[in-house]
Amino acid sequence: MKQLGIIICDRYHTCAGGKCLRAMRDRDGAFALYENEEIELVGFTTCGGCPGGNVEYAPAEMKKNGAEVVHLATGLVVGYPPCPSIDAFTEFLPAKYGLEVVMGTHPIPENYYQTHRALGTWDSADWQRRIQLVLTDEETRLAYD
């Protein structure tokens, strides 16, 4: 069984995790990586607010609880502006904790997709790489609105 942690953006600190948990259950978005694998959530927390101080410490507890992979929640890429520290998190977590990092959790909701498309936020190759696991078809995006 693959054990996972999720780190969400602190601006969504009151989020109940419904979209992430639904996507995990249904293997949507980035959780499609585990289509034929059992998974268990062993940690869920916020980044602690910019610049992400909780990212320095919270993964230690996740790892003690068995986490092998940390998902950086979709909110880090769909919020406006997107997380300015996301690349630093992606480098830090494997270096400090030996944890694999996956960008995203649930599929990008359609309303966020339309906003960022109009703004050109994700036009670069770097952003296309970052959102590749959570950029789904329109029907799925609408289901996560």
What is the reported pLDDT for 39? Answer: 98
pLDDT (0 to 100) of residue 13: 93
Cis check for the bond before 81: say yes or no (omega within 30 of 0): yes
Residue 129 CA to residue 21 CA, distance in Å, equals 23
pTM: 0.95
- Which residue, among 86, 23, 15, 76, has the nearest Cα to 44 in the 3D structure? 15
Go through the domains of the chain in sequence order and give each one's CATH number. Answer: 2-143 (3.40.50)
The per-residue pLDDT for 58 is 96
| pLDDT tens across the length of the chain (145 residues) | 999 999 999 999 999 999 999 999 999 999 999 999 999 999 999 999 999 999 999 999 999 999 999 999 999 999 999 999 999 999 999 999 999 999 999 999 999 999 999 999 999 999 999 999 999 999 999 999 9
